[in-house]
């Protein structure tokens, strides 16, 4: 995809998520690989609802900022995914309400954050790792992602928000929306003794759709 088209698509998808309440104010950040191996990144303090394609932070393949506004303070988080997952073509981080709410509950499994309620949460995300709370902008978030050695495409930052890496910007946005949808279902069904997918059903999905599932 040409860079001009990618710039427009980043802003279009970000606005779509903002308009539907998946992140608000000036929260969240988004990045994508360019054809030359560089990155386009949402600037610090910007709203997903009002990103300007011309002002996106532009990094070259060596990681130097060469154009645009100052990037999000969560760059170490994004860079950790690009450095540890060779298939990563985009990274999205939101402050979505239901996933944050779910992250505060003591009974949540930190190694498998999302309950197996639908096939798509498994197919698009695999196992989601719940990471502990970090101060916003803390480089330790990137260190925590690096500590996973590229084994997870999605993490949940406790009391903060989800982060998803995928092959391209559309796949990353689709996956993080699936994460929030599954978290919303989990919160809606809490205390209702809902029937989730069985271990056998989960394993069948993992096998059929070649999902990253093992630790």
Q: Which residues are catalytic?
A: 74, 120
The CA-atom distances, in angstroms, between 189 and each of 109, 161, 186 are 16, 20, 5
Q: 3-state SS of 11-65?
A: HHHHHHHHHCCCCCCCCCEEEEECCCCCEEECECCCCHHHCCHHHCEEECCCCCE
- What are the structure tokens assigned to 8, written together? 């427009």
Contacts of 193 (CB under 8 A, 6+ apart): none
Give the span between the Cα atoms of 90 and 172, in whole angstroms: 6
């Amino acid at each position: 995809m040409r860079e001009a088209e990618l710039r427009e698509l980043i802003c279009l998808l970000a606005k779509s998520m903002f308009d539907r309440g998946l992140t608000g104010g000036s929260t969240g950040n988004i990045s994508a690989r360019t054809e030359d191996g560089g990155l386009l990144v949402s600037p610090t303090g910007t709203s997903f609802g009002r990103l300007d394609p011309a002002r996106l932070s532009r990094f070259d393949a060596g990681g130097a900022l060469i154009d645009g506004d100052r990037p999000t303070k969560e760059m170490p988080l994004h860079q950790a995914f690009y450095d540890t997952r060779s298939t990563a073509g985009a990274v999205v981080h939101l402050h979505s309400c239901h996933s944050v709410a779910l992250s505060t509950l003591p009974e949540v499994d930190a190694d498998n954050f999302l309950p197996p309620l639908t096939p798509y949460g498994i197919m698009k995300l695999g196992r989601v790792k719940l990471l502990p709370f970090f101060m916003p902008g803390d480089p330790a978030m990137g260190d925590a992602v690096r500590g996973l050695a590229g084994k997870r495409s999605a993490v949940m930052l406790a009391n903060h928000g989800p982060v998803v890496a995928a092959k391209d910007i559309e796949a990353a946005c689709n996956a993080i929306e699936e994460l929030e949808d599954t978290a919303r279902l989990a919160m809606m069904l809490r205390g209702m003794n809902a029937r989730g997918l069985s271990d056998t059903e989960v394993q069948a999905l993992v096998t059929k759709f070649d999902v990253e599932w093992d630790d």
